[in-house]
Structure 1
Amino acid sequence: MATERAQRFVDALLKLEEHGDLEGIVSLFSDDARVSNAASPRVFSGPAGARQFWKEYKGTLGKVKSTFRNMIEAGDRVALEWETQGTAHNGSAIAYEGVSILEWDGDRISRFYAYFDPHALGQELAHNTGARSEVPSTTPA
């Protein structure tokens, strides 16, 4: 069963992916949060940094959907094993997987880091070599 904190993050990410809602995910980060991933040499800081990080994430990808295989919580840390499929804004199909580590300070994320193979994702983005994936379109009910 997903932990409450892990589920809050997953729900916010899905709202970002489906509807472009940046503020929902940004609101989870603490004032001194550090945000990064294996593809970025940069560490984004605080809510403004989190906003920039997630804006760039969504700006790189068009239709996208992440699914989560495992959510593991130990103390103030959560590990999320995921797979993301969809298309980039350039039309390239993408399908990649990885693990994100979230460190919490109370009810806010103080550190987020995603581990995945950035070379493979870069090849998919640049050369359209990713496995073809269909992301279901979301229509209002």
Structure 2
Amino acid sequence: MKALVLAVIGLIVLMVLTAPSPPDPTPPTLTPEEIALIDVEMKEGVCSQPKCVVVYVAPWCPHCHNRRPTIISLVHALRQEGIPVEVVIGKDSITEVREYARKYPFPVSYDAGGDRYRNMRVPGVPYFRVINASGKSIKSLSGGFNSVGQLRAALKV
């Protein structure tokens, strides 16, 4: 019995020591190099075309990591057709955001204070929203699919 109690205590201590740190709640200031990550095609929900797509992802999200290749393919396909796409990374520390942003082969936006997250009322990530030129939401999807075709069909783009 004593060995079982010691084993449970050891397990609890191990879990506490190896638990990941929570994200830094203080939004960091971006350096000029990090500002270069921001995509200028579309900012803060302003769409210059009949349709634009916003994709919100977070470094801590396993589904965002798993769907990153599909998101990248979607962005390339839509941009080739003249549909602006903005990938927004948020809800984590600047260190995690930097590392995750480097995995995208194009500029991304950083939602430092979480304003975009709150304004878009993101229910979960990855999150996809199609907006029109007046900024009105046409279609949205949380989670996504593993194929560009399925994503496009669901988003109607």
Q: TM-score, normalised by structure 2?
A: 0.28
Q: Which has the higher contact order (CA 8 A, sep 6+)?
A: 2
More helix by share: 2
Structure with max Cα Rg: 2
More strand by share: 1
Q: TM-score, normalised by structure 1?
A: 0.30
